[in-house]
Amino acid sequence: TTYICKASPMTTSVLDSCLNFSEEEEVILKYWKEIDAFRTSISLSAGKPEYTFYDGPPFATGLPHYGHILAGTIKDTVTRYAHQTGHKVARRFGWDCHGLPVEYEIDKALGLNSREEVLAMGIGVYNSHCRSIVQRYTREWETVVTRLGRWIDFENDYRTMDLSFMESVWWVFKTLFDKGLVYRGYKVMPYSTTCATPLSNFEAGLNYKDVTDIAVVVSFPLRDEPNVSLVAWTTTPWTLPSNLALCVNAHLNYVQVRSVADKKIYIVAEMRLTQLFPALRSKKFQQGDEARIYEVLKSFKGAELVGRMYEPLFHFYDSAERRSCAFKVIADEYVTSEAGTGIVHQAPAFGEDDYRVCVRNKIVDVIMNGERSLPCPVDANGRFVSPVSGDLQGMPVKLADAAICSLLHKMGRLVLKESHEHSYPFCWRSDTPLIYKAVPSWFVAVETIRENLIQNNKQTYWVPASVKEKRFHNWLVDAKDWAISRNRFWGTPIPLWVSEDHKEMVAIGCVAELRAKCELADGSQIPMNLSDLHRESVDSLVVASPSRSGVFLHRVDEVFDCWFESGSMPYAQLHYPFECSEKEFLKKFPADFIAEGLDQTRGWFYTLMVISTALFNKPAFKNLIVNGLVLAADGKKMSKRLKNYPDPTLVINAHGADALRLYLINSPVVKGETIKFVESGVRGVLRDVLLPWFNAFRFFTQQASRWEIKNSTGNKFTQDNDRVRKSQNIMDVWIMASLDSLVHFVHEEMRTYRLYTVVPRLVGFLGDLTNWYVRLNRSRLKGTDGEDSALTSLAVLYDVLLKMTVIMAPFTPFFAEYLYQHLRKRLLTSNTANLPEDAIGKADSVHYIMLPLAGNPKADGKVLVGMSLLQQVVELGRRAREAATISMKTPVKRVIIVCDSALTLDGLRGELESYVLEELNTWEIVLTSDVETWCSISALPNLPILAKRLGKQVRSAADAIKGLDSASLRSFSRTGSIMICVDGKLLHFSKGDLIVKSAFSGDSTRYIATSSSDGGLTVAVCTVQDDALRRQGITRDFCNRVNKLRKKRKLNIADQVDIFYAESAPLDNISTTRALTCNSNLLNRARIYPVDFSCCRGQILISDKYASPGGSNNLSIALAVPAPSLAPAAKKKFAGYVALETLLATCDLSNSKIHGSLENNPFELKLGIDIFPSASSARSLGKGLLAP
């Protein structure tokens, strides 16, 4: 494809029968680049109301996938719409540069396995490696995003690793710190041993998997009754070396039982004996067999166990001081009888409830640093360390379960070992199992602002609303304090300098404050050229104690969770409050619109809400679209490893970006549901939406060219709004009213961000335009009803096509541009100097133009109802034909349309009636409201719905429904409501409760019928055929094949050809010649004038042989270059002069007469009487077919 010029960027001729959408999109991209379309559109919107959009920053360490493409398409569609409705819409791309994704890649690349290895390398060196790969794929991202047609600013992007961004993040933290919303504490958190860092709860929820783990039941002998053991069940044997207590429920019933098999005595919850004795779960177990398995010695409440001491499992934490407070039974309500033994082993460093219960019962004291401090024998990389000893020391905890079970077995403490299937969290980045581990962290006190979060959420608008009202609301109701610190290196350092005892803390909120309060450890000042705030630049800085001379505060070791940074982007992208004033900031906050996937409900959406509420007590956004997940065709998550999805780039290259965009946003995924991505769906959009749309435009162009050729004034076709407004043609009135209704609908629904209603309506209108308006007006557009009528129809079609390019521009930006650039050539170009740059026609891009507003359509309800009925009738008629295997080319004698509403049928009478005749290829239509004569009606109960509502009454209701008379059922079909007596009571039934069926009761030997789903409309097609019908069918088939040959030969509408045919062996005595002669009106209407093959004198362009349905079994058709041909009378007169026709082929036909002599006999041939330029013209003006 070669680029031509900005005024006409498209290279494919509109008369070509095939358009390569993907290639044309590439050309349009070059055009946009040449005219700097995106920035020009922004400059043209100067002074207009601002529409603020926040783009959630993706990581640039991987390539974009369909989830990114979907979210990007939604964002682009909405922001394009906002621009085209009179707003200034700044769109900046952002990059999430910090965090685990980057560090994980570096750790893999450098073979680093522990925190100590990083420290040995040096934080500065490590971070330089991280910085080097942060934007590894930014060029690829920009290429893919741009190729999708998304307009967004990459040059003025924001990066979370830039000093300006990081400084604003510091300001956010200091503001929260000053408000008393930041504190340090221990918390048991999801912990990635691979990445050596804690994760937030919402990160832990991103990657759950079904796994099989070892589950054990372990005995804990009572100190005062060594022969009696408490038994606890756990799926994490690796936590047993840290056991400090056992927890029961004080209100549950417990039993002391003796095992019949080994005579050992155990204490277990009465409801959980099945966990201790698996035989009770066996299918062979029968009631009464308990005595052969165990003997109950006594029963009691859990409260009686509280305070009892037991023997520790391991000696690692067994000391006199520990024994004074630990290794005893405590109680809490979180213990239930739903799983396990009703006794839960407590390892306070590895369980959230364990920690809470043990702190409350003074099993541990996290404030003290002595023996009673929190026991945690696991290092940052998830390996056992001292005091755990022996073979366990240095072993990864998730691999230690088997070794621990072996030790327990040797100690005689392993009661039961089995496999347990359950859902378990994995690290979302490294895809390795998480553990739960108590770590010292810095927290934002979210629980103190929980009520404000709930109230601020109510001020936002979500699509779908259910995510806001249920999933997100429930998350906020149970919101926990947010651990914002990470024990990592590549991130924004937490700007907090503390004393060793943490009693003195100084938060730094900006670079200026850093210079004012900090100094190097040797007392020197911070260099003036400080240009970075990462750890290597600030870790060595100290702050003099405000209260103690000679004491210095040091920065805490942690960096921010990258979610804290992305949640701070509304402020940090603007470098607020440093470079952006309060006034300017308030223009851009909160955002008018954001959009991301459902997985961000507990991610970005949550952090935005928390930080904005903590800072300003308002939400960070007003409107939000939540898209669902894009799965592979097999319903599984898309996986590079499994290669279960097609490469997006290949899909775009094959089908175009517009097809992919429309496929995604015309699916349930735009309202939070999932979609299984199948490439055939993208191909379907191209086939069913874009190609018919192109063909409608192509047909318009062909007919406009035809009109220009036929027009004697030499004028070109141009826009004529006045002609459009004055048209009284029912089809023109209908399509313009439909367009006006569409415009109104699009604006109403886009204001509420309901793409899931807008896109189907747009696609539906294009279907109406291509499948109904263009098809039903083909002959009119071709001039069959006169050139003035053709001109009016062309003006209407042009107006609709032009407006649809503007309306569809946000959704299919490439094809809208393609059509606009071609259509604008036909706009009147005079007096455009004073028009604004974004005026339709003058605008260099369709994306500069404002969307049209709804007007006042002149169509009355009768037209719209009639057209709706016409569409239903045609669809039902086609289905009836298919059922009878009657081709649409074969005419039928009669179609009966039965509807119980005479008023509705009136909508079909008049002009629309002729369209039904044409579309169903019938000689006659009969409209009748006499449904009792033609149709029977019955109803069945919708049992799945009624059973839930009526319960036992459903049988009586079903009998009553089946007994309803036809009058009641027809009334129900019209109103959708009925009262029915069921068991002596009147009950109301509405649409959906009853399944109404209508059946044709006419003569089934002569008619075949289909009915609408509600039974309100029936169309019956006469199946009786005779020779007259067959002859007309042969003629229609002949015309169809001629047009296919023209298309195959790629002839334009202006290309004149002669049409010749020859037949042999006619079937059933119906010859093609006879059929064509009897239906010359059809041929004239189609401007097809066939001539006997023996008259062919011109060069044959294309030919075909086939068996004509119902006619000749060997029919040949040929299209030839037009050659001079004699009229029938002249041909008869000069029949003996064979050389005459050869001579005529060389004659100049520009004169009105031809003189000459044949064998000394003079002759004179008059043009248009005796001789014609072509066989077709001779046929069209002559009487009858030319004979050989």
57, 58, 101, 852: the active-site residue: 57
Which residues does residue 926 pair with via DSSP β-bridges, in sequence order?
896
* Coil vs helix vs strand at 935: strand
- Give the three-state DSSP class for 337: coil
DSSP-derived pairing of the beta strands 245-248 and 228-234: unpaired
Specify whether 600 is catalytic: yes
Helix (H) or strand (E) holding 486: strand 485-486
E-strand ranges in 1090-1175 read 1090-1092, 1100-1106, 1112-1120, 1125-1126, 1153-1158, 1161-1166, 1171-1172
Active-site position among 275, 600, 703, 719: 600
- Do residues 329 and 341 lie in contact, with contact meaning Cβ atoms separated by under 8 Å? no
Tell me whether residue 637 is one of the annotated catalytic residues: yes
526: helix, coil or strand? coil
Residue 847 burial (C-beta neighbours within 10 Å; 0-12, 13-18, 19+): buried
DSSP helix/strand/coil, 38:
helix
Q: Is 57 a catalytic residue?
A: yes
Strand 435-444, strand 482-483: pairing: antiparallel
The catalytic residue among 640, 1050, 1132, 1153 is 640
Tell me which residue of 328, 351, 519 sits closest to 434, measured CA to CA: 351
What is the dihedral sign for C-alpha 975, 980, 985, 988?
Answer: negative
Please say if 985 is a catalytic residue. Answer: no
Taking every pair of Cα atoms in the chain, the longest distance, rounded to a whole number of angstroms, is: 146
* Burial profile 17-34: b = 16 or more Cβ within 10 angstroms, e = fewer: eebebbebbbbbbebbee
8 Å CB contact between 111 and 99: no
- Report helix, strand or coil for 305: helix
The yes-or-no answer on residue 179 being catalytic is no
- How does DSSP classify residue 605? H
What's the CA gap between 1186 and 1095, in Å, rounded? 7
Active site (annotated) includes residue 588: no
The position carrying tokens 């081709």 is 887
Closest Cα partner for 871 from 912, 921, 909, 899?
A: 912
* Residue 604 designated active-site: yes
3-class secondary structure for 181-242?
CEEEEEEEEEEECCCCEECCHHHHCCCEEEEEEEEEEEEEEECCCCCEEEEEEECCHHHHHH
Catalytic-role residue among 76, 96, 592, 732? 96
Would strands 623-627 and 594-597 be described as parallel, antiparallel, or unpaired? parallel
The arrangement of strands across the sheet holding 925-928 comes to 925-928, 895-899, 1017-1022, 1007-1011
Q: Which of 171, 238, 490, 563 is catalytic?
A: 563
Three-class SS of residue 864?
Answer: helix
> What is d(CA 1122, CA 1144) in angstroms, rounded to the nearest whole number?
13
**CA separation, residue 204 to residues 62, 102, 422, 432, 471 (Å):** 21, 18, 15, 11, 16
Query: Of 458, 637, 1153, 1166, which residue is the catalytic one?
Result: 637
Residue burial 1038-1065, b: 16+ Cβ < 10 Å; e: rest: bbebbeebbeeeebeeeeebbbbbbbee
DSSP lists the bridge partners of residue 804 as: none
What are the tokens at 1036? 């229609």
Burial 564-585 (b: 16+ CB within 10 A, else e): bbbbbbbbbbbbbeeebeeeee
Helix (H) or strand (E) holding 627: strand 623-627
CA distance 191 to 378: 11
Residues 6+ apart with CB under 8 A from 681: 663
Alpha-carbon distance 430 to 309, whole Å?
A: 42
Active site residue: 170, 171, 604, 934, which one? 604
- In this structure, the number of other CB atoms found within 10 A of the CB of residue 1181 comes to 12
Tokens of residue 1181, six digits: 């003006």
- Tally the residues of the chain: 1188
Q: Which helix (H) or strand (E) holds 55?
A: none
What is the set of active-site residues?
A: 57, 96, 563, 600, 604, 637, 640
